[in-house]
Amino acid sequence: MSNSTKRTPPQAYCAKCGTIFRSISAVNSQCSTLIAGKRCKGWPRSAVSVGDWKECESCKAEGGLRVPCPDCSSGYHLARKRV
Ligand SMILES: [Zn+2]
Ligand SMILES: [Zn+2]
């Protein structure tokens, strides 16, 4: 246990629009992101392997828990290539 305010890494992402999902359950349904008023046609993929995510350097993976981060919303950036 630690006192770190780091978030845990996200668990899924949409390869089409790049949305990051914090819950693996996102892979069970079509991406819910709206693009220009239309629902994204992408399908979230799981990304739960070591190396799939790298910590945001701006917020050290806090992802706005203490102060909003201009670079991320989740504290992490996708490290693997979107496929
Ligand atoms: Zn999407
Ligand atoms: Zn950040």
Helix (H) / strand (E) containing 15: none
Calculate how far, in angstroms, residue 41's C-alpha sits from the geometric centre of ligand 1.
6
- pLDDT in the model for residue 1: 54
Residue 14 three-state SS: coil
Residue 24 three-state SS: helix
Question: How remote is the C-alpha of 22 from its chain's centroid?
Answer: 6
As residues whose CB is below 5 A from the ion ligand 2, the structure lists: 56, 58-59, 69, 71-72
pLDDT in tens, the chain (83 residues): 556 789 999 999 999 999 999 999 999 999 999 999 999 999 999 999 989 999 999 999 999 888 899 999 889 999 987 66
Q: Which residues contact 61 (CB under 8 A, 6 or more apart)?
A: 6, 7, 55, 75, 76
pTM (predicted TM-score): 0.82
- Is residue 63 within 8 A of residue 73, CB to CB? The reply is yes
Calculate how far, in angstroms, residue 68's C-alpha sits from the geometric centre of ligand 2.
8
Identify the nearest ligand to the CA of 60 by its number.
2
